[in-house]
Amino acid sequence: MNRLHRYIFSSLLTVVFSAVTVFVFILITGNILQSALGLYASGQLSGMLFCKLLVVLIPYVIAYALPLGVLSGILIVLGRLSSQQEITAMKSAGVGIKTFSAPILFISCVSVCILLFINNYYAPMAKQASRKMLASAVGQNPVEFIQPKEFIKNFPGYIIYIDERKGNDLRGFWIWELDDQKRVKNCLRAESGSFFYDDVKEEIVLTLSDGIGERRDKKNPEDFSSDIPMLVFKKWSLPLPMERLLGPENAPKLKISTMTIVQMLNHKRKQAQLLSETSNPEEIAEIRREIYQTNMRMHYNMSSAFSVFSLVLLGIPLGIQVGRKESYANAALALILALSYFVLQTSINAFFNKMPDSHGEYLLWIPNVLFQGIGICLFIRASKR
């Protein structure tokens, strides 16, 4: 690597590191606000566990921060070199765009390798680790996640109200069980109750004592014209799902989006085995849908890793042509380009994810083909000037 390459490499590496750090802070703040900050603010998570969650999720957001940071670094560095006529001086000395772009392309290739590892292994493992941490926090003291004199709607299908709590002693329970249309189908009233965590099923179990309840008509629970059956109980156990409490991705059942590449391949193998053993049309359709969505996620992770290379090919000629040294303007341009890429990719994934016959896994590569095609054309055009 000659002196020019070292100069561009060091300049770009410094700016890219700073930009990635800024984007990681922004993205991790949004992610934590969405999942754990509310629990921490209410005292349901300890400061140590909150910090652990923060550290675990940093590599997860790097998958989005790295393409943004690399593109911002390219536009800022090349914009500064262009505005100060350094690129013009390089061309006058016979140094073409292909030559001084070598360290930029090297950084982009290294970034692709990092993203392949993060998307296919580390990010899913980080999500699984955060789920285990939150589940462990619930298991250690599930009562801390229940606030008295508030309507608790964290558990899907239930609304819970508790009159008072003294330590682990809970009294005055009201529980409304809802149907799919959010109508009350059952209502329970109990003098006392207790929570415990089932670490096998990873769910909170509520045990009610000395209560009464009513069972309404399943088809028309709002019909009060006829007598409503009443029930009296000494003990009543009610399992409460934790999907809403910890977030959909933290549900006990491992989602495809939180599987590593190895887990997805094993999942596909199991689904293929089930497909060969069944003749039920409904089961066949469900298994094929599962296999298709697994393929979609695998291609999504792979194509997302190459996003940094696609954005770099587009960013090099744009950075030269823009010729501005203002960092905020170049960062804004980088943000617009990156958002365009991710919006297009996310839209394709969302639209074709439930259409098994559309071969949507291959359509996920359209943003890469489009951005790389435009970038190569602009790159060739810039090299001829």
Residue 111 pLDDT greater than 60, yes or no = yes
The answer to whether 296 and 54 have CB atoms below 8 angstroms apart is no
pLDDT band at 136 (very low <50, low <70, confident <90, very high): low
The two three-digit tokens of residue 59, written as one number = 């590599």
CA distance 347 to 261: 22
Q: How far is CA 20 from CA 24, 45, 160, 168, 338, in A?
A: 6, 28, 43, 45, 13
pLDDT band at 161 (very low <50, low <70, confident <90, very high): confident
Residue 245 pLDDT greater than 60, yes or no = no
The pLDDT of 217-222, averaged and rounded, is 70
Closest by CA position to 360, among listed 371, 370, 347: 347
The two three-digit tokens of residue 257, written as one number = 């989006």
176 vs 39, residue with greater confidence: 176
What percentage of the chain carries pLDDT values higher than 90? 5
What is residue 317's predicted lDDT score, i.e. its pLDDT? 83
What is residue 385's predicted lDDT score, i.e. its pLDDT? 66
pLDDT band at 112 (very low <50, low <70, confident <90, very high): very high
pLDDT band at 115 (very low <50, low <70, confident <90, very high): very high
Side-chain half-sphere exposure of 2, counting CA atoms within 13 A:
6
The pLDDT of 372-385, averaged and rounded, is 81
Hey, which residues does 161 pair with through a beta bridge?
Answer: 174
What is residue 29's predicted lDDT score, i.e. its pLDDT? 75
Q: How does the average pLDDT of the chain come out, rounded?
A: 78
pLDDT band at 284 (very low <50, low <70, confident <90, very high): confident
72 vs 323, residue with greater confidence: 72
Residues 285-303: tens digit of each pLDDT:
888 888 888 899 999 999 9
Residues 305-345: tens digit of each pLDDT:
998 999 888 888 887 776 555 555 666 777 788 888 888 88
Positive or negative, the CA dihedral 346, 30, 109, 294 is negative
Which are the contacts of 230, defined by CB distance < 8 A and separation ≥ 6?
A: 212, 213, 214
Beta-strand relationship, 184-198 and 158-166: unpaired
Residue 55 pLDDT greater than 50, yes or no = yes
The pLDDT of 152-176, averaged and rounded, is 79
Residues 366-375: tens digit of each pLDDT:
999 998 888 8
Q: Tokens 């990010």 — which residue?
A: 123
201 vs 182, residue with greater confidence: 182
C-alpha 31 chain-centroid distance: 8
Which are the contacts of 12, defined by CB distance < 8 A and separation ≥ 6?
A: 73, 74, 77, 103, 104, 107
Least confident piece of the model among 70-74, 116-120, 192-196, 222-226: 222-226
What is residue 248's predicted lDDT score, i.e. its pLDDT? 46
Which of the listed ranges 71-80, 117-126, 244-253 does the model predict with the highest average pLDDT?
117-126
Residue 139 pLDDT greater than 80, yes or no = no
